[in-house]
Structure 1
Amino acid sequence: MKAVGIAGMASILITGCKKETNTVAQQAVVSDDVLAQIKSLGFSNTNVEKIDEGYLVEGDIILTPQDLATRNTVMAIRVANTEQYRTTNLVTGLPRNITVAISSQLPSSYTAVLDEMVRRYNAEGLRITFTRVSSGATITFAKANGSYLASSGFPDAAGNPYPTVKVNSRAIGTGTSTTFINYAATIFAHEVGHCIGFRHTDYMDRSYSCGGGYSNEGASTVGAINIPGTPTTAEPNSWMLACISANQNRPFDSYDKTALSYLYK
């Protein structure tokens, strides 16, 4: 199976690990100073893409110019190779309902995908809930292009979720089958996971889900804090693994539910 990164940190390449030939072209539009800043923050500066909001790193994490200028204290607790990790900032003001909306530029079938994502989170009985609206949402799923499936960012210091999930529908595809809806909902849920403060389950070594050599994503200024009660051994089914295979469905597994409950129940 060809694993492709979802978002948040990795090379979410449309053709998995085959897009190596584009590395030089992508980095050519990003200055050496910016690449050095990204590296100093603890993120990989390979395959960095310039986007409207700033820079896309590690496949699906958006760093704004403000992020690059931030020099917060790095918080990282590194206990094992595969655990659940969260960022320093979390969503506050709980209980809190987060509204979500989908751009009209995305396929109409994605409405069912968003509904499935909402259902998955709301079924957990968290103090964060989600409601789909037609406009004016807290988090908007917007159309995007590029060499990734989707991308998003992390909560801000004021406790608000990241406001945008950029979706590359050409890479994800479209459809109305249960298989497709579950696959795309896994991608949507993963990106929202970043928006509310989750990092990749295989943060310590993204090669676990993406293949290739050992790759630690780095704590950066956003933090990588282990969530108590999550496993210290490999977790193959987590919704927050860095990469995903085509048509794979990853509903919340037992440790995902532990992590969600610890932060938001």
Structure 2
Amino acid sequence: MKKIKVLALCAIVAGVITSCQKDEITNDAQPEALELSKDLQDKMLAAGVNPSNAFIKDMVNPLTGDSDQMVVSGDITMFLNTLESDGYALGDTEDGNKQYRTNNLVSSGNRTIDILGFTGSCCALSSRMQTGLQWAVNNYNRINTTLNFRLTFGTNFQAADMVVYDNGQGGQGGSAGFPEGGRPFKFIQILSGMANASNNVNEHVIGHEIGHALGFRHTDYARRRCGGANEGTAGVGAINIPGTPSANQWGQSGLDSGSLMISCFDGSEDGEFSNFDIVALEFLY
């Protein structure tokens, strides 16, 4: 059994990072992008997601054949129709401040999650991806939350609550969306280049994308891990989750570079939750 490595973390914050040494999603294909209106940009800010470099794209799910218009920002994908209806807006705390997470968490009745590692011909996870998925699920199941993941490998994606698959596109990383209707985001895409990454890095990337599918944000709105400029509070604030260290407005203190929800990775990750990742998960779930 792998041991959980205890590091320091700042918790979940609003903001999406799109460039670093090795981003959580690196795709060689150039999107056929549509420009976001000012209204959609404002709604992304209201959801705590930076609209810079975001685009709208028709995306076809290779498992279902369904096509949806998606808003893509880094490794975050959002259904356009949900965004238009303010379905991703952040929830208010009792004092009117914003939290670090989308209001669409997984409801109490949907926290036994059947998660499928897809092995069909079009989109099969490699051996290392499968191992990374197994380790990531073990990490979520061993902590004290109301979440219970039941992992299987196969092709019956229709019956699953969450499906992890290789989308056949180059690069390393992955993408996921946020919960809808009290259910976790169903389809988690892993880029095909992850077949060449270690088991630990697959564990990290897949665990990170599962975190998004449960409603979690990137930790480093200050972008310190990636060396980029501070994104500030994305217009909605960056309020600390109780029990976790806090960074000041400019992110000069309190950031945990070992958090699973850091926006990018460099290939040296061990795939484990930091101590305060666990605090944040146990607080929300």
- Measured against the shorter chain, the TM-score band is 0.7 to 0.9
Which residue of 102, 109, 113 corresponds with 1:98? 113
- Structure 2 segments unaligned to the other structure (5+ residues): 1-14, 60-67, 94-98, 247-253
Q: CA deviation at 1:69?
A: 1.1
Using the TM superposition, name which of 93-102 and 108-117 deviates more. Answer: 93-102
- Measured on the aligned residues, the alpha-carbon RMSD in Å equals 3.1
Q: Which has the higher helix share?
A: 1
Give the 3-state SS of the residue equivalent to 1:115 in structure 2. helix
CA gap of 1:235–1:13, structure 2 versus 1, over 3 A, is closer
TM-score, scaled to structure 1: 0.76
**Pair 1:60 & 2:75 matched:** yes
Asked if 2 retains the 8 angstrom alpha-carbon contact of 1:102 and 1:140, the reply is yes
Q: Corresponding residue for 2:143?
A: 124
**Pair 1:174 & 2:193 matched:** no
Q: Corresponding residue for 1:39?
A: 41
TM-score, scaled to structure 2: 0.71
Write the mapping of 1:89-238 to structure 2, written as runs, cut at 5 A: 89-94=104-109, 96-104=111-119, 105-133=124-152, 134=154, 135=156, 136-144=159-167, 145=169, 149-156=173-180, 158-170=181-193, 172-174=194-196, 180-203=198-221, 205=222, 207-216=223-232, 218=234, 226-232=240-246, 233-238=254-259
Give the 3-state SS of the residue equivalent to 2:257 in structure 1. coil
CA gap of 1:146–1:70, structure 2 versus 1, over 3 A, is farther
For this pair of structures, how many residues does the alignment match?
Answer: 234
Q: Percent identity?
A: 28
Q: CA deviation at 1:111?
A: 1.8
After superposition, the C-alpha distances for 1:182-221 in whole angstroms (9 at most, x for unaligned) are 1111111111111111111113x2x21222222247377x
Which residue of 241, 250, 256 corresponds with 2:262? 241
After superposition, the C-alpha distances for 1:199-252 in whole angstroms (9 at most, x for unaligned) are 11113x2x21222222247377xx966421111112111111111111322411
- Structure 1 segments unaligned to the other structure (5+ residues): 1-7, 78-83
CA distance in 1 between partners of 2:131 and 2:282 (Å):
25
Asked if 2 retains the 8 angstrom alpha-carbon contact of 1:202 and 1:242, the reply is yes
CA distance in 1 between partners of 2:263 and 2:213 (Å):
15
Aligned partner of 2:72: which letter?
A: V
Q: CA deviation at 1:143?
A: 2.0
After superposition, the C-alpha distances for 1:157-201 in whole angstroms (9 at most, x for unaligned) are x2100101011022x2336xxxx1111111111111111111111
Aligned partner of 1:212: which letter?
A: G
CA distance in 2 between partners of 1:142 and 1:217 (Å):
33
CA distance in 2 between partners of 1:201 and 1:30 (Å):
27
CA gap of 1:149–1:254, structure 2 versus 1, over 3 A, is same
Give the 3-state SS of the residue equivalent to 1:86 in structure 2. strand
Q: CA deviation at 1:259?
A: 0.5
CA distance in 2 between partners of 1:246 and 1:141 (Å):
20
After superposition, the C-alpha distances for 1:98-135 in whole angstroms (9 at most, x for unaligned) are 11112222213322111101110111032101111233
Give the 3-state SS of the residue equivalent to 2:148 in structure 1. strand
Q: Corresponding residue for 1:263?
A: 284
